[in-house]
Amino acid sequence: MSGKSYLKEAGFRMGVLAAWTLFLLTVRLKVMGVQLPVFTKFDNPAAAAETPTRQLTFNYLVALNGWLLLYPSDLCCDWTMGSVPLVRSLSDPRNLATLAGYATLGAILWNSLWVDDSRSRVLLMSLAMCAFPFLPASNLFFPVGFVVAERVLYAPSMGFCLLVAQGGSLLAARRSTLVWSSMLVLLCIHTAKTMRRNTDWQSEYSLFLSGLQVNQRNAKLYNNVGHCLETQGKHAEALSYFHTAIRVEPDDIGAHINVGRTYNHLGMYGEAEKSFRKAKDLLPRPPFGDGYEARVAPSHLNVFLNLANLISRDGTRLEEADMLYQEAIRMRSDYVEAYINRGDILIRLNRTQEAQSVYERALLLDEANADIHYNLGVVFLEQRKTDLALLSFEKALKINPKHEQALLNSAILIQETGGPHMRKTAYHRLQALLEARDVNERVYFHLGMLAMDDKNLTLAEKWFRRAVELKADFRSALFNLALLLSEARRPLEALPFLQQLRKHHPDHVKGLILLGDIYINAVKDLDAAQECYKSILVQEPNNVQALHNLCVVHVERGLMAEAESCLEKASALAPNEYYVTQHLEIVRSRRLQILKRKTIVRSPYSKSKSQDIDSKEGDEVIVNLPT
């Protein structure tokens, strides 16, 4: 084949490779929505540098990648941030490495034009396989999110291996023992390096630590080591690495966020807020009231969520938290998490109409997000629109059938408002939640309520006991369990649960009434019963039921004068309550008989106001239990 025809064939082959490369780049851009990903100056500092620093550094990185192929000694899992200092001037000696790299490529290309056809074909194909796959990572078409990435050398290494093989074949033709010995030594060295490198890849922690042995200028490596320690619960050790990351790169927003988050885990909320605010101050500031889209890494916007969640712990700072979420949304209008969290704050501020608008806006951005549908259902619940709430919960479950909160709250809603035909659905949803790793005590409680609806008192008692085991201060479960036992004529078994309820919730009026009733009828401890009723009257001086039962205590003690005075007061508060006026008449009649006979007659009369089983946590009522 003549040199002319060969060059034509070689040009055709390289043209095919170039066209294929351009096709792959076009497909990649199409997949990304014809929009370049967002990178910061920390990912690739040279991309944000001025001329000629940017060009000098980019060209030096080509030579550096070639050196890693030739001499893979110092390997690192991450070369972003300050891993490779910028080449800022022509006098930088690293420019000699750039010239040497391009000179080597030029020499190989020139040599390929003056050798025989077979060697020329190998050299050209080797260069093409080295160069074309590397082009997307070369910053030639668009800036990439790294300084050096060893993974991008995988495809170019095939062309490099062809060059090595070509050189080895030329050397082997001389039948030199020294050449073969050198090849054997090189093979042994690379084998040992591979085995040593494999130990670095045993875990994320060992990998990032090995990177720090090569590169101490990369703040991202310190952050990653800190993250590994965080997952192990070693927050104090993680904090030291995050602080080191800040010393290495003071403007690293992520490092400040990590410090703030770790302080939050350690309960040092003041320090956490300071760190979050430092991170926030490093972000570009949008003009207030104007639409503004900032090219900010999504992970950096988490500072708004972290800071707002922290300050919203204080109920007096909810408005401040809301402002932070609004600022995040102005910076990035498609930031769904900010909409979700802002909606939660608006609910707490009782601005449910605004919360509804926020969630509806979020659904336009991410209609397949089960959390948004669930939160919208919570808003409808706050607005007492139970049908719409249940519909939103159903939509959330259609997207994510295992959404725990939607399962629980839809089951509660069905149990409280649905008919008997829907109880089976509620029961199955609550049963599904029993398979979760951490079962919420409310699951057991509402299973108990469903059992009560079905008149299965044994099963209801089982579920209520489970709820109390999980949460010792669960007021509704404690009360309903005590009520169930009391109705089953097991008042002494109910007593410990009522005492536990009083310990955690001393203001639980209906529980105190039931407790006092048991003290009178089962325990015969009038002092304890009287103390229960008096504690109610301290909270609610006009509570007719507590006042009436206190009158009953006086009757049981035989103190008819005190009982009559007490019942007169109760009658004045509730003149239409028949049982109060009836008992007042009985006491007066008894007193009259006592005055006539000069004897003491004990009254068997007392009455507790009609009471019903509670149907909803935090709104307990009790059944009629005669004292």
Using CB atoms within 10 A of its CB, is residue 2 exposed (0-12), middle (13-18) or buried (19+)?
Answer: exposed
Q: Does residue 456 surpass a pLDDT of 60?
A: yes
Higher pLDDT among residues 215 and 125, named by residue: 215
% of the chain beyond a pLDDT of 70: 88
Kindly state the average pLDDT of the residues 33-46: 67
The model's pTM: 0.72
Per-residue pLDDT of 443-454, as tens digits, reads 999 999 999 988
Average pLDDT, the chain: 85
In the prediction, which pLDDT does 31 show?
66
DSSP string, 24-81: HHHHHHHHTTS-PPP--TTT-GGGGSPTTHHHHHHHHHHHHHHHHHH---S--S---T
Kindly state the average pLDDT of the residues 398-422: 88
Q: Does residue 623 surpass a pLDDT of 50?
A: no
* Dihedral angle sign, alpha carbons of residues 201, 204, 206, 212: positive
In the prediction, which pLDDT does 9 show?
66
Length of the chain as a residue count: 627
Per-residue pLDDT of 502-518, as tens digits, reads 999 999 999 999 999 99
Rounded CA-CA distance 428/553 in Å is: 47
Per-residue pLDDT of 162-206, as tens digits, reads 888 888 777 777 767 777 788 889 889 999 999 999 999 999 999
- Please name the residue that has the structure tokens 């910028």: 86
In the prediction, which pLDDT does 28 show?
66
Per-residue pLDDT of 197-235, as tens digits, reads 999 999 999 999 999 999 998 999 999 999 999 999 999
SS3 annotation, 550-585: HHHHHHHHCCHHHHHHHHHHHHHHCCCCHHHHHHHH
Q: Does residue 4 surpass a pLDDT of 60?
A: no
Rounded CA-CA distance 244/265 in Å is: 19
Higher pLDDT among residues 595 and 469, named by residue: 469
How far does the chain reach from its first CA to its final CA, in angstroms?
116
Residue 494: band (very low, low, confident or very high) from pLDDT cuts 50, 70, 90: very high
Q: Which of 148-162, 253-267, 581-595, 606-620 has the lowest mean pLDDT?
A: 606-620
Q: What's the angle, vertex CA 105, arms to CA 102 and CA 111, rounded to 5?
A: 135
Rounded CA-CA distance 482/533 in Å is: 18
